[in-house]
Amino acid sequence: MQSMPTSHRRSEPIRLGAFLLGALLVTACAPEPSAGYQGYLEGEYVHVAAPLGGRLDHLAVRRGQRVTAGDPLFALEAEAERAAQREAAGRLEQAQARLADLGKGQRPSELAALEARFAQARAAAELSAIELRRARELHTAQVIAADALDRARLDEERNRRVLDEVSAQLDTARLGARPDALAAAGAEIHAAEAALARARWAVAEKTVSAATDALVFDTLHRPGEFVAAGAPVVTLLPPENIKVRFFVPEADFGALRLDQVVRVTHTGLVTPLEARIDRLSPRPEFTPPILYNRENRAKLVFLVEASFAPDVARGLHPGQPVDVVAVP
């Protein structure tokens, strides 16, 4: 068997030593693993829309602008809604006037005519009563016949009935409309009030304001475009809607609890930020497509969410990777 040259045998230790030295240098330069958990910042956006459709007349905000609660965001054209509001207001006034008229009874001139008739009937009844008494006296003295007394008695009875009739008509005229008519007029007023409230709501909903302090993340329409009912026009990101999402191995998940404080760091951050855990996912993420056993349980991770205080979250940006460390 032919032996290896002496020069080759001497070069083997040199190459082996160089390989080991390079491996040590690579290991020394590799970054140390993080002591916490990896995650990212996530924003839960608020898509602001109007319940009614229309042309976008005015967009009061721009992307990247910060708004406070009550600041106007956008306004849709509302000419039809304002016309409906004026119509509803007119119908309400009409119903109120009708109820007031029904409650007053007949007009003053009509009441005056009935009062004059009542006075005439009362005078006639009084005269008939006097004539009846005189006729009775004359009949007792046998001056007039019985038929003359009967005529006087019938005249007195007729005039008294006429007086009762005119008195009843006068009382009815003063009472106003019947209870059913008054109830119908009151119901008409309630319906007109509801229609006016709906019209006012429609006008108010065409102008949308911010419900809370937020960052204008995006604007989805431009003035002059038609916006369908319920279609978002502005996307807002309130500070309290910025969360940190991170994944915890199955072995560490059981030690976490709700409201537990975690410290969050990201690139360029000197002082860690504090957040509180407000969600512990009950289901594992990225489950391997094999049966559970002791060997693959370490591959299971659980999603955990934590929220910042609004003043802390104001300068954070969704999508930014972070490192999270749980505080015992």
Per-residue pLDDT tens digits for 143-173 = 888 888 889 889 999 999 998 998 888 887 7
Neighbouring C-alpha atoms within 13 Å toward the C-beta of 302 = 16
Is the confidence at residue 210, as pLDDT, over 90? yes
Tell me which of 98-107, 109-118, 234-243, 270-279 is least confident: 98-107
In the DSSP assignment, the letter for residue 197 is H
Which is more confident, 58 or 316? 58
3-state secondary structure of 138: helix
Average pLDDT for 183-208: 95
Average pLDDT for 32-57: 86
Phi/psi of residue 55, nearest 5 degrees: -75, 140
Q: How confident is residue 328, by pLDDT bands cut at 50, 70 and 90?
A: confident
| Residues 217 and 45: beta-carbon distance below 8 Å | yes
Task: Render pLDDT for 90-136 as a digit per residue (tens, 0 to 9).
Answer: 999 999 999 888 877 777 787 888 889 989 999 999 999 999 898 88
Which is more confident, 237 or 174? 237
Q: How confident is residue 7, by pLDDT bands cut at 50, 70 and 90?
A: very low
Give me the helices (H) in 105-178, please.
108-140, 146-175
Query: Would you state the structure tokens that stand for residue 128, as one six-digit string?
Result: 């008939």
Average pLDDT for 71-76: 97
Which residue bears the tokens 């009509």? 110
Please report the pLDDT score of residue 15 as a whole number.
47
Q: What is the mean pLDDT of the chain?
A: 84
Q: How confident is residue 16, by pLDDT bands cut at 50, 70 and 90?
A: very low
Name beta bridge partners: 282: none
The predicted model scores a pTM of 0.65
Sheet of 54-59: strand order equals: 207-209, 72-76, 54-59, 226-227
| Residues 75 and 204: beta-carbon distance below 8 Å | no
Average pLDDT for 242-249: 91
The continuous run of DSSP H or E covering 218 comes out as: strand 214-219
